[in-house]
Amino acid sequence: MKQVNQFKDKKVLVLGLAKSGLAAAKLLKKLGAVVIVNDGKPLEENEAAKELKAEGIDVVCGSHPVELLDKGIELVVKNPGIQYANPIVSKAVLDGIPVITEVELAGFISEAPFIGITGTNGKTTTTTLINEMLKEDGKGTVLAGNIGEVASEVVQQAKPDDHVVIELSSFQLMGVQDFRPHIAIITNIYDAHLDYHSSREEYVGSKMKITQNQTEDDFLIINADQESLYSMAGSSHAQVIPFSAKQVVENGAYLDEGTVYFQEEAIMKAADIVLPGSHNLENILAAIAAVKLTGVSNEAIQSVLTSFTGVRHRTQFVREWNGRKFYNDSKATNTLATKSALTAFNSPIVLLAGGLDRGNGFDDLIPYLDAVKAVVAFGETANKWKDAAEKAGIDVFEKAEYMTDAVQMAVDLSESGDVVLLSPACASWDQYKTFEERGDIFIDCVNTL
């Protein structure tokens, strides 16, 4: 860990705890800052706050009093989930007090270079692939961010010849000031999180912050198949490395006549890749570009791509049973993600879908339901799914109360050669605490068949 002095004796407010706030507060104290922690959860229910208080850190819990800024605060480190409309955050911005997230702290102290991955979809798969390929080649790697441990915590042990592979959300990137990844990846950009960001322009701008501090010694890997996104690469000072699943691109990663290439070097046959779906091919190309820039061998890439079957809850292959293949895509909490999953298979599909009703219907999925032979729906949106199935000409529809019922119904409606796909297109909160819980229950049901 680099020894830095810019935080010594500086008054810093850590706003919001959870894992990132806890790690940030501890690190700032270690760096000599005068730390105040503020969290909305009452102290008696707040184990993280109790832990920090026991270490001598000033803790204010139960509300977010704006008056905390009157204590000479020089920097705010906020939890990524706290919106900029929060009174403390908005007043800090108005008063000219810098507001960052803990990722920025990680950038200051890390001795290892960063490979940063952002985008609307595909971040987790791309991040996981890069990490696996680096490990397979024997290179040091530290997994951080949304997919791994808190960045400002794990980079303290990172060595100069390691790579910090970090998944970055728009929430984290919006607070970037000096953070600079050596390799940055933008997988794609679609409309998302507009309940957090004030506009699409703000959302896109936060994603582009991943490259704002890069120099000509760095690399920006970007999706050439999204013309509007690719055009933004011109604002970056980094070397631009395109990837494309649809066209040959100069100086990048691409698919041509069934073979995956990087900068005109054949890497492997696409048919040997076990991870299904055209959307995953884009993630794979982005990952290949990143690891080839670090010197990873083709053999290591091939080894990972001929064995990697998917990230848990993201078009994850669970098992084959009586000729049926079961896939867990519980992370598909919107229609865009379910579209990607539906286009990943050529076999007949029995689709398990439904969940929290956010007021939207599923008509935009109808063109993608051609391969679906039956729908088993659950949760608040079950009737909306019935309507979509009827419009799509799907004659077989069942309504399930619990996941155990849904899986058994899918088994009864399917036959050898079919795919049974959980891809809900809805959040899980009407029945489950998280999409992970929903997916885990699906896996358990499948594994007990």
Instruction: Read off the CATH number of the domain in which 30 is found.
Output: 3.40.50.720
Residues of the domain holding 19? 11-100
In a domain, 3, yes or no: no
Residue 404's pLDDT band (cuts 50, 70, 90): very high
- Rounded to two decimals, the pTM is 0.83
pLDDT above 70 as % of the chain: 98
Does the structure show a pLDDT above 70 at 395? yes
Judge whether 119 is annotated as a binding position: yes
Among 182, 137, 138, smallest CA distance to 164 is for 182
For range 73-81, the mean pLDDT: 94
Asked, for residue 6, whether it belongs to a domain, the answer is: no
Report the sign of the C-alpha dihedral through residues 288, 289, 295, 298, in that order: positive
Regarding whether 133 and 84 lie in a shared domain, the answer is no
pLDDT of residue 148: 74
Percentage, residues of the chain above pLDDT 90: 86
pLDDT at 224: 97
The reply, when asked if residue 91 is annotated as ligand binding, is: no
**121 assigned to a ligand binding site:** yes
Question: Where does 209-361 have alpha helices with state H?
Answer: 227-232, 278-293, 298-305, 335-342
Q: For 123-147, what is each residue's pLDDT tens digit?
A: 999 999 999 999 999 999 999 987 8
Is the same domain home to 160 and 218?
yes
Tens of pLDDT, residues 220-279: 999 999 998 999 999 999 999 999 999 999 999 999 999 999 999 999 999 999 998 888
Residues 243 and 268 in one domain: yes
Residue with tokens 């990230």: 311
Tokens of 198: 């004030």
2 located within any domain? no
Q: Which residues pair with 39 in a beta bridge?
A: 61
Task: Give the mean model confidence (pLDDT) for residues 81-87.
Answer: 89
Distance in angstroms (rounded) separating the CA atoms of residues 35 and 29: 6
364 with 232, same domain: the answer is no
CATH of the domain at 212: 3.40.1190.10
Domain with residue 321: its CATH number is 3.90.190.20
The model's confidence at residue 193, banded by pLDDT at 50, 70 and 90, is low
One domain for residues 187 and 118 = yes
> Which pLDDT value is given to residue 170?
84
Last residue of a domain, one of 305, 338, 361: 305
Residues 338 and 258 in one domain: no
User: Which two structure tokens, joined as six digits, stand for 93?
Assistant: 């911005």
- Under the banding of pLDDT at 50, 70 and 90, the label for residue 195 is low
The amino acid at residue 416 is S
Answer yes or no: is 79 a known binding residue.
no
Using one digit for the tens of pLDDT, what is the confidence trace for 332-363?
Answer: 999 988 998 999 898 999 999 999 998 889 99
Q: Which pLDDT score, from 0 to 100, does residue 194 have?
A: 53
C-alpha torsion 191→197→203→205, nearest 10? 160
pLDDT value at 173 more than 70 = yes
Residue after which a domain boundary falls, among 65, 100, 135: 100
Region 403-420: what's the mean pLDDT? 97
CA distance 219 to 329: 31
Answer yes or no: is 141 within a domain: yes
Same domain membership, residue 181 and residue 238: yes
Number of domains within the chain: 3
Question: Are 168 and 255 contained in the same domain?
Answer: yes
- What number is the average pLDDT over the span 166-175? 89
Residue 354 CA to chain centroid, in angstroms? 22
pLDDT of 310 reads 85
Q: Return d(Cα 378, Cα 427) in angstroms, integer.
A: 12
Same domain flag for 118 and 254: yes
187 is in an annotated binding site: no
For residue 1, being part of any structural domain is answered with no
126 in a known ligand binding site: no
Q: Is 381 known to sit in a ligand binding site?
A: no
For range 168-195, the mean pLDDT: 85
**Confidence at residue 330, expressed as pLDDT on a 0 to 100 scale:** 96
Kindly state whether residue 388 falls inside one of the protein's structural domains: yes
Do 126 and 240 lie in a common domain? yes
Among 78, 100, 122, which residue terminates a domain?
A: 100
CA atoms of 109 and 422, how far apart (whole Å): 41
DSSP sequence for 212-260: TT--TTSEEEEETTSHHHHHHGGG-SSEEEEEESSS--TTSEEEETTEE
Let me know whether 408 and 439 are in one domain.
Answer: yes
Identify whether residues 336 and 414 lie together within a single domain: yes
What does the pLDDT look like over 29-42, one tens digit per residue?
Answer: 999 999 999 999 99
Residue 295 exposed, middle or buried by CB count within 10 Å (0-12, 13-18, 19+): exposed
What does the pLDDT average to over 142-158?
A: 91
